[in-house]
């Protein structure tokens, strides 16, 4: 090594603190005993951590990330260097050898006249990462079989063998089909518009031919679709013969390689471009010669391609068969769905679908994918379909596929009690939770993805709902009447928009696409992005946002009180972490103590009072030594940036709450949950994710103005953690639960002066339902009642402003809101007999005389 080279390598050494952080991140993600192959599978991850380590430092660094097989130089040498650095006895020089290795320091990689941008690198990186979760792939094949068999069982025929894949952005729709193409024959087509950026790159010539060439003429669009499919099958067969692969498996591999070779964010490779230019040229030539295309020609072209793809076999497809030999994928296919006119709901898509009817008994399946627009654009409710055959129910279309999974990238990073809160707040950890997109994309556009645009000045109602949903686990209840708003939408339209544009996860689709359900699933990284939006720069006001959501989206009246208190705890959490400043490099967010949370939730005078209180309940053996709140909870550590609402009561138990905490979540009570409305876990006596260290804050919310002090004891008895299985016998130590807990009752509409007071019980039976044989409680609890909504007590209300919060809490939305918003309230009341005291409900059928 010459002097200049040694000097250059020395200049690339990281400061020790950054070097140690870099290695800590890698050791968390990659097991110390990982094989060479496992390390190679994580090279893209190592590159990403390398970029973070050098960010902000002045270097001549340009990362070599050219995503083709065998593109990483000197892999074997680098893996050996990395393994030495991963050992427990590694020296600083061993670790520096990793970051100064030549694989990180090539000359700038150019694509045409521009260097690769880091954002594009992240997207391509995510696409090329190892596919670690096969279940959706097998689920997709089962879906195809199931849909065909269901149609057959109903005594019907299938309109065409196709389906849409419906899910929000970043869930892996396109990647799923790419993975399918490794073992099955898939013809990939991407119709993304020219002014839209994304990966994989688009096939512009195909989009221009299919989406634009037909103008506003449905017959011309149908003719173009027929000529296109004929040309596609013929050109594919010609290409496969030219590739000269010896068997089906090899033909599949070589075709996929041919179609993906040389592609980047801006363009397909020259081979694929040339191939589709040939398809379009053949289709145009046929049309210009005024040669018609009939069904037999299409079927013959398909059969010929099938025979070229497959190995020789005497087996033919039976009409009812669910077998598939050839798949065709139209990605970003929303460009096909623009109707021909205001009065004609047909589109290039419906005419392409008509063409696919020809193959209803052939072993072909077509996928339509899109990340924008209405998610029903490829699978409309039957009553709205342009096809008479479908509207009348004579022919049926297969349902959409929605099952893509979550947390796939955590398969090799599973969290256990050996991990700590520090581990689960690392970007390295949380970037791999949720949808796979974040694993390679977090540093480039989280806010923008969540909001479907930067929205720097203000948020639309839909964007506001997206932000609050990600924090507060809001559910769109489409079974409820949607109250009037400035921009009224049907509940179904709201669900569609939230899935299409705001990262909401579709979890069910009703028959015929008439109904749909979607949730804001637990994604800590999106929740932190929502926090950053709420923090500033978007004109965000928490009470104003809640007012919009409550007036324009179907949130149940019964859930409103719980929603307000959850919002206050969220505000307090944000205030507590905000006081600590920005987290260090590689960390998502700060943790905080229970004491710090309460200092951000309650006013200065109120918190001073709380800090000096002793427990309201404790076992007899602990009564002589009752520590003050400030001493007990100063070291109890919390971490949450969003809520999860379970479907099962049993999930709200200590052994599951540790999982909530590892995801940075607090728990809302499930529907009809007895005893409490929310649980906030914390770790007591360390930050290990050990269930034995977990305690919690139990919250109950009442918005009934008639609740009085005489009701308090009964309400706290129902908050007994042993009664409703938050705790069980296994949680006891020496007969009692050893970790102190907190219970708070919020009575939002209490009459009189707002107060916060510590509960005092004349006997343990007044505050607990489960006692030992001596009549003593089984747990220690600090109990408080917060009555009313006042800026003198609650800091979030101070920031509100207070009058806005009070108006929200005291607002009552009863049945009259339904009738007041109706143009024909008397007729509407007659449609709801015996549901109210107004005589109009029963006037048509009841006579009091």
Q: What is the pLDDT of residues 189-203, one digit of tens each?
A: 999 888 777 788 899
Which pLDDT belongs to residue 719? 96
CB 235 within 8 A of CB 278: yes
Residue 768 contacts by C-beta under 8 Å, 6 or more apart in sequence? Answer: 617, 716, 717, 720, 777, 778, 779
CA distances from 326 to 71, 352, 364 (A): 31, 17, 5
Of residues 232, 265, 225, 269, the one with CA closest to residue 117: 265
Terminal Cα distance for the chain, rounded: 110
Give the DSSP letter of residue 170.
T
CB 188 within 8 A of CB 174: no
Which pLDDT belongs to residue 820? 64
196 CB burial (10 A radius; 0-12, 13-18, 19+):
exposed
| Three-class DSSP labels, 750-767 | CCCCCEEEECCCCCHHHC
Which pLDDT belongs to residue 499? 62
**Please, what's the b/e burial string for 671-690 (b: 16 or more CB within 10 A of its CB; e: otherwise)?**
eebebbbbbbbbbbeebbbb
Indicate the pairing of strand 694-702 with strand 678-683.
antiparallel
Instruction: Give the mean pLDDT of 316-343.
Output: 80
| Three-class DSSP labels, 689-700 | CCHHHEEEEEEE
Task: Tell me which H or E stretch contains 638.
Answer: strand 637-638
Q: Tell which phi-psi region holds residue 44, choosing left (phi > 0), alpha (psi between -120 and 50) or beta.
A: alpha
CB 503 within 8 A of CB 450: yes
- Residue 95, classed as helix, strand or coil, is helix
Instruction: Give the mean pLDDT of 253-257.
Output: 95
CA atoms of 714 and 725, how far apart (whole Å): 18
CA atoms of 787 and 745, how far apart (whole Å): 8
pLDDT band for position 71 (cuts 50, 70, 90): very low
Q: Which residues, listed in sequence order, are joined to residue 757 by a DSSP beta bridge?
A: 785
- Residue 430, classed as helix, strand or coil, is helix
Indicate the pairing of strand 694-702 with strand 741-747.
parallel
Report the range of poorest mean pLDDT among 183-192, 204-213, 493-502, 673-682: 493-502
Structure tokens at 207: 């989009």
Report the range of poorest mean pLDDT among 31-35, 414-418, 536-540, 705-709: 536-540
Which pLDDT belongs to residue 819? 63
pTM for the model stands at 0.78
- Order of strands, sheet of 185-190, starting from the edge strand that comes earlier in the sequence: 162-165, 364-369, 326-331, 185-190
Which pLDDT belongs to residue 385? 54
CA atoms of 447 and 444, how far apart (whole Å): 9
Residue 389 has pLDDT above 70, yes or no: no
Which pLDDT belongs to residue 394? 62
Q: Which residues, listed in sequence order, are joined to residue 365 by a DSSP beta bridge?
A: 327
CA atoms of 687 and 698, how far apart (whole Å): 20
Q: What is the DSSP string of 642-678?
A: EEE--SSGGGSSHHHHHHHHHTTEEEEPPTT-SS-SE
Long-range contacts of 574-583 (CB under 8 A, 24+ apart): 574/531, 574/534, 574/535, 575/600, 575/795, 576/600, 578/535, 583/425
Of residues 208, 225, 222, 227, the one with CA closest to residue 288: 227
Which parts of 168-236 are beta strand (E)? 185-190
Q: Is the peptide bond before 848 cis (omega within 30 degrees of 0)?
A: no
Residue indicated by tokens 């005893």: 675
Residue indicated by tokens 């090279």: 43
Instruction: Give the mean pLDDT of 500-512.
Output: 62
- Residue 209, classed as helix, strand or coil, is helix
Residue 438 has pLDDT above 60, yes or no: yes
Sign of CA dihedral 755, 761, 765, 768: positive
The mean of the pLDDT values for the chain is 80
Backbone angles phi, psi at 780, to 5 degrees: -105, 130
pLDDT band for position 495 (cuts 50, 70, 90): low
pLDDT tens track for 390-424: 555 567 788 888 888 888 778 778 888 888 999 99
CB 11 within 8 A of CB 98: no
626 CB burial (10 A radius; 0-12, 13-18, 19+):
middle
Other Cβ atoms closer than 10 A to 312: 6
670 CB burial (10 A radius; 0-12, 13-18, 19+):
middle
CA atoms of 272 and 232, how far apart (whole Å): 13
CA atoms of 670 and 644, how far apart (whole Å): 9
Of residues 438, 369, 480, the one with CA closest to residue 814: 480
C-alpha atoms less than 13 angstroms from C-alpha of 164 in its C-beta half-sphere: 25
Which pLDDT belongs to residue 517? 66
821 CB burial (10 A radius; 0-12, 13-18, 19+):
middle
| Three-class DSSP labels, 265-310 | CCCCCHHHHHHHHHHHHHHHHHHHCCCCCCHHHHHHHHHHHHHHHC
Residue 320 has pLDDT above 60, yes or no: no
Report the range of poorest mean pLDDT among 266-270, 347-351, 404-408: 404-408
58 CB burial (10 A radius; 0-12, 13-18, 19+):
exposed
pLDDT band for position 539 (cuts 50, 70, 90): confident
Other Cβ atoms closer than 10 A to 320: 12
Which pLDDT belongs to residue 490? 55
Instruction: Give the mean pLDDT of 474-478.
Output: 60
CA distances from 158 to 93, 337, 398, 765, 847 (A): 66, 21, 7, 66, 54
Structure tokens at 534: 């709420």
Structure tokens at 374: 């209405």
Structure tokens at 93: 């020089």
pLDDT band for position 758 (cuts 50, 70, 90): very high
Instruction: Give the mean pLDDT of 92-99.
Output: 84
Residue, of 44 and 770, whose pLDDT is higher: 770
- Residue 496, classed as helix, strand or coil, is helix
CA atoms of 786 and 707, how far apart (whole Å): 12
């Amino acid at each position: 090594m010459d002097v200049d080279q040694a000097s250059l390598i020395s200049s690339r050494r990281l400061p020790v603190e950054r070097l140690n952080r870099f290695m800590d991140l890698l050791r968390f993600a990659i097991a110390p005993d990982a094989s060479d192959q496992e390390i190679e599978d994580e090279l893209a991850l190592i590159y990403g951590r390398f970029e973070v380590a050098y960010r902000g430092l002045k270097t001549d660094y340009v990362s070599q990330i050219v995503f083709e097989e065998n593109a990483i130089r000197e892999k074997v040498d680098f893996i050996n260097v990395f393994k030495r650095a991963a050992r427990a006895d590694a020296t600083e020089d061993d670790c520096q050898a990793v970051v100064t290795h030549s694989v990180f320091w090539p000359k700038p990689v150019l694509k045409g006249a521009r260097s690769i941008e880091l954002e594009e690198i992240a997207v391509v990186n995510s696409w090329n990462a190892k596919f670690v979760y096969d279940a959706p792939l097998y689920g997709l094949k089962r879906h195809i079989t199931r849909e065909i068999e269901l149609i057959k069982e109903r005594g019907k025929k299938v309109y065409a063998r196709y389906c849409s894949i419906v899910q929000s952005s970043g869930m892996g729709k396109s990647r799923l089909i790419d993975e399918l193409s490794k073992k099955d024959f898939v013809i990939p087509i991407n119709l993304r518009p020219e002014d839209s950026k994304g990966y994989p790159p688009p096939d512009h010539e195909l989009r221009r031919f299919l989406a634009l060439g037909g103008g506003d003429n449905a017959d011309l669009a149908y003719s173009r679709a027929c000529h296109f499919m004929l040309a596609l099958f013929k050109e594919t067969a010609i290409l496969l013969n030219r590739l000269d692969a010896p068997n089906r498996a090899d033909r599949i591999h070589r075709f996929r390689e041919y179609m993906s070779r040389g592609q980047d964010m801006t363009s397909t490779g020259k081979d694929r471009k040339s191939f589709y230019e040939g398809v379009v040229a053949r289709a145009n030539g046929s049309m210009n010669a005024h040669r018609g295309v009939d069904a037999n020609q299409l079927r013959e072209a398909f059969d010929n391609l099938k025979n070229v793809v497959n190995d020789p076999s005497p087996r033919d497809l039976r009409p009812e068969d669910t077998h598939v030999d050839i798949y065709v994928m139209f990605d970003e296919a929303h460009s096909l769905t623009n109707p021909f006119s205001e009065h004609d709901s047909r589109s290039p898509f419906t005419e392409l679908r008509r063409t696919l009817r020809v193959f209803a008994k052939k072993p072909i399946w077509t996928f339509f994918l899109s990340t924008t627009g209405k998610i029903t654009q490829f699978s409309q409710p039957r009553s709205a379909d342009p096809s008479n055959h479908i509207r009348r129910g004579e022919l049926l279309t297969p349902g959409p596929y929605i099952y893509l999974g979550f947390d796939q990238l955590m398969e090799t990073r599973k969290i256990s009690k050996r991990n700590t809160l520090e581990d689960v707040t690392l970007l390295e950890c949380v970037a791999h939770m949720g949808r796979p997109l974040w694993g390679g994309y977090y540093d480039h556009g989280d806010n923008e993805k969540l909001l479907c645009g930067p929205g720097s000045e203000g948020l639309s109602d839909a964007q506001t709902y997206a932000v609050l949903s990600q924090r507060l686990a809001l559910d769109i209840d489409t079974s409820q009447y949607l109250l009037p708003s400035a921009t009224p939408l049907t509940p179904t339209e709201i669900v569609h928009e939230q899935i299409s544009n705001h990262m909401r996860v579709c979890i069910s689709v009703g028959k015929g696409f008439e109904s749909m359900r979607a949730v804001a699933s637990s994604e800590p990284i999106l929740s932190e992005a929502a926090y950053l939006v709420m923090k500033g720069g978007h004109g965000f006001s928490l009470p104003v946002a809640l007012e919009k959501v409550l007036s324009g989206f179907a949130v149940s009246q019964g859930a409103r009180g719980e929603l307000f208190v959850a919002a206050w705890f969220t505000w307090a959490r944000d205030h507590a972490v905000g006081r600590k400043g920005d987290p260090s490099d590689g960390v998502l967010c700060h943790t905080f103590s229970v004491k710090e949370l309460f200092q951000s939730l309650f006013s200065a005078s109120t918190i001073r009072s709380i800090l000096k209180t002793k427990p309201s309940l404790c076992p007899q053996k602990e009564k002589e030594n009752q520590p003050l709140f400030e001493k007990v909870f100063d070291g109890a550590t919390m971490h949450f940036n969003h809520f999860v609402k379970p479907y099962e009561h049993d999930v709200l138990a200590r052994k599951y709450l540790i999982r909530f905490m590892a995801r940075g979540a607090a728990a809302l009570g499930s529907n009809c949950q007895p005893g409490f409305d929310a649980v906030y876990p914390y770790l007591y006596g360390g930050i290990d994710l050990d269930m034995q260290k977990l305690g919690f804050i139990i919250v109950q919310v009442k918005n009934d103005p008639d609740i009085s002090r005489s009701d308090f004891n009964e309400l706290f008895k129902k908050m007994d953690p042993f009664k409703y299985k938050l705790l069980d016998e296994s949680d006891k130590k020496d007969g009692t639960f050893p970790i102190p807990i907190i219970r708070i009752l919020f009575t939002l509409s209490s009459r009189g002066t707002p107060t916060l007071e510590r509960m005092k019980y004349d006997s343990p039976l007044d505050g607990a339902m489960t006692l030992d044989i001596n009549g003593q409680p089984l747990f220690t609890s600090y109990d408080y009642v917060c009555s009313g909504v006042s800026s003198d007590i609650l800091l979030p209300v101070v920031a509100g402003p207070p009058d806005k919060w009070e108006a929200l809490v005291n607002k009552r939305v009863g049945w009259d809101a339904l009738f007041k918003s109706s143009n024909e309230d008397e007729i509407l009341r007659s449609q709801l007999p015996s549901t109210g005291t107004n005589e109009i409900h029963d006037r048509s059928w009841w006579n009091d005389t």
